[in-house]
Chain A
Amino acid sequence: MSSTTPAVIMDNGTGLTKLGFAGNDSPSWVFPTAIATRASASSSKPSAPSKPSFLSSSTSNSSSKLSGGNLSSIKRDMEDLDFYIGDEALEAAKGPSYSLHYPIRHGQIENWDQMERFWENSIFKYLKCEPEDHYFLLTEPPLNPPENRENTAEIMFESFNCAGLYIAVQAVLALAASWTSSKVTDRSLTGTVIDSGDGVTHVIPVAEGYVIGSAIKNIPIAGRDITSFIQTLLRDRGEKDTSLKTAEQIKQEFCYVCPDIVKEFNKFDSHPDMFAKYMVETVSKSKIEVDVGYERFLAPEIFFNPEIASSDFLTPLPTIVDQVIQASPIDVRKNLYKNIVLSGGSTMFKDFGRRLQRDLKTLVNERVQQSERLSGTKSSGVAVQVISHKRQKNAVWFGGSLLAQTGEFKSYCYTKQDYEEYGPNIVRNFSLFSVP
């Protein structure tokens, strides 16, 4: 059965979870990685059900757990089913009886008990599939500890009994997703991935499918910071509606990256039609008009000029990318410069790739010229290319879908039999996809 069904792709990010089947070009479900459980205050039991099992068993109240007996374990079983995930969780948490949790922090799973229940609902309530019949492709952040992989495998094989499992690094999948761009000629798994979601932006160098862990850098600027910067600008101007939701809508609809902010200010002066208007519909069905001004280009500018919004982080994104590549082994640097791939919602601004490429090229050319001057020899030059493509928003998921639909995918997975024969540590290593 599992030889004909499509693989399930699950990309659990800090902010959003993307779910769907291999072969599709977009995920079937995208919802917040959130779970709402019944608030523990309402139950009289000393150990809260929302606590992960390994925590509650190691604490001093293990005696009360033993004496709890059969009755409480039945009650607990019922409570285990009383939870919501995704958008429903956000809705449920508005009431008094549920509390909201985010089981993934900084890309890594922090609460395994909640994550297990999150996956349970993902599979049975959203995907509505039998895990025995499907192979699963899960994603992990770079530098994920192997113990986390083992825990994941334990849950997938023992709780869900899934047919096969592959855990892929998100950055590698993002590279694979860029193969859809016409600029990519040699489908290699070497490149620099700029992954910018809601919380953090990662710059990850990948050489032939392996992440160069020592050179990864994180930037504390991402979608959320852009939204709150828009909000401050709206408030400075005293707009009628300055909610976070309005700021977010403005970010998605109106923002773009400009080549030079002074010229852009002047362009707004000479072309008043650059100022836009955004209509907010309030609860009482009345409409409020919010003017959209300079935030259109100033908001994404914080990637390139972090100083305008924050006072503690001042290094522009192009400089960080340059530092990351310079920290990588010398024999892959040229290929890392040549294949810079964007991934994640915050890289979706118009002309983001173009500006990044221009700024990075300036940095690289300066260095090349300096070394030519010092050594007196002619350099063959370094090509800098930033790849933008249509699947950027869900690049990681799409890359997974692309790889998992190939015929060879299943031979790279570990099956339930493999797991039972070798134990959880089998998932510490996965062989890489050979490039078709």
Chain B
Amino acid sequence: MPAYHSTFLAEETQDSRTVGNFAILPIKTKFKGPAFPSLSDYDIIDEVLDLFRANSFFKNFEIKGPADRALIYGILFVSQCLNSLNIRVSHNEAVKILTNLSLENFAIPGDIGFPLNSLYTSPKDKNEELLLRQYLSQFRQELSSRLIERLYAEDKSKPSKYWLAFTRRKFMNKSL
């Protein structure tokens, strides 16, 4: 049984929103951005958080469609978030650190610093680039805030050590 794929692959149709080959999936969020509100209860952010722990163990992953690329980006971002925390960071500090991390200057597919350029195609024009950047910013904010919920579910003063243990693992041997 290989690594887990995104369940949103099945929902893709001709007119699904994509930039390059990256899926712009709906998200349920309060952060501002271009994403459509999600109709179902389970969105790509939930999926990233569910599959993160299992997929972190895998080094090989066969990309089956645009939704998988969103999944990979999410998993690698969670890993980046965990790496910027440690066991002594409290809930309030974590919110600060991760908000900064999700808003700071980040590379998008097509930029020179982006590590997965061999797998992602770059946006066609300035408009697409802007859309992708805004979408990813929204995606990162929502993901980090839901990650914090999970990390501090048990104890507000320190993050779950079972989650932090995954900082050593690198999905597909890549990191953002």
Contact = CB atoms under 8 A, between A and B. Distances in A.
Given A265-B53, A272-B154, A311-B59, A304 B165 contact: no
Interface residues of B, number: 24
Nearest to B169: A236
Contacts of B161: 237-238, 291
A293 interface: yes
B1 A236 contact: no
A426 interface: no
Given A294-B53, A307-B59, A311-B59, A262 B162 contact: no
A52 interface: no
B95 interface: no
B4 A262 contact: yes
Given A236-B165, A262-B4, A308 B58 contact: yes
Nearest to A262: B54
Contacts of B59: 307, 311
Nearest to A318: B1
B60 A307 contact: yes
Nearest to A298: B57
Interface in B144-176: 150, 153-154, 161-162, 164-169
Interface in B109-163: 150, 153-154, 161-162
A435 to B, nearest CB: 37
Contacts of B169: 236
A308 B169 CA distance: 10
A237 B87 CA distance: 10
Given A237-B162, A294-B162, A311-B59, A304 B50 contact: no
B51 interface: yes
B168 A236 contact: yes
A383 interface: no
A311 B58 CA distance: 9
B150 to A, nearest CB: 8
A309 B56 CA distance: 11
B103 to A, nearest CB: 28
A154 interface: no
Given A305-B1, A307-B59, A359-B1, A266 B50 contact: yes
A288 to B, nearest CB: 16
A127 interface: no
A261 interface: yes
Interface string B52-89: 01100111100000000000000000000000000100
A308 B168 contact: no
Interface string A287-302: 0000101100010000
Contacts of B168: 236
A191 B58 CA distance: 33
A293 B162 contact: yes
Nearest to B51: A262
Contacts of A293: 162, 165
A316 B4 CA distance: 16
B58 A261 contact: no
Nearest to B55: A262
Interface in A257-316: 261-262, 265-266, 268-269, 272, 275, 291, 293-294, 298, 304-305, 307-309, 311, 314, 316
Contact of B1 (A237, A269, A304): A304
A261 B162 contact: no
A134 B50 CA distance: 61
A304 B2 CA distance: 10
Nearest to A293: B162
Given A236-B165, A236-B168, A265 B1 contact: no
Interface string B90-116: 000000000000000000000000000
Interface in B1-28: 1-4
Contacts of A269: 150, 153
Interface in A311-342: 311, 314, 316
B57 to A, nearest CB: 4
A359 B168 CA distance: 30
A16 interface: no
A261 B56 CA distance: 12
B60 to A, nearest CB: 7
A323 to B, nearest CB: 16
Given A272-B154, A307-B58, A359-B1, A237 B50 contact: no
Nearest to A294: B162
A233 interface: yes
B139 to A, nearest CB: 21
Given A236-B165, A237-B162, A265 B50 contact: yes
A239 to B, nearest CB: 9
Contacts of B2: 305, 307
A290 to B, nearest CB: 12
B53 to A, nearest CB: 5
Contacts of A268: 162
Interface of B: 1-4, 50-51, 53-54, 57-60, 87, 150, 153-154, 161-162, 164-169
Nearest first, the 5 A-B pairs at minimum CB distance are A308-B57, A237-B165, A236-B165, A261-B54, A293-B162
Interface of A: 233, 236-238, 261-262, 265-266, 268-269, 272, 275, 291, 293-294, 298, 304-305, 307-309, 311, 314, 316, 359
Given A238-B87, A308-B57, A308-B58, 4 more contacts: A238-B165, A262-B4, A272-B154, A305-B1
9 contacts: A236-B165, A236-B166, A237-B164, A262-B51, A269-B153, A291-B161, A305-B2, A307-B3, A307-B58
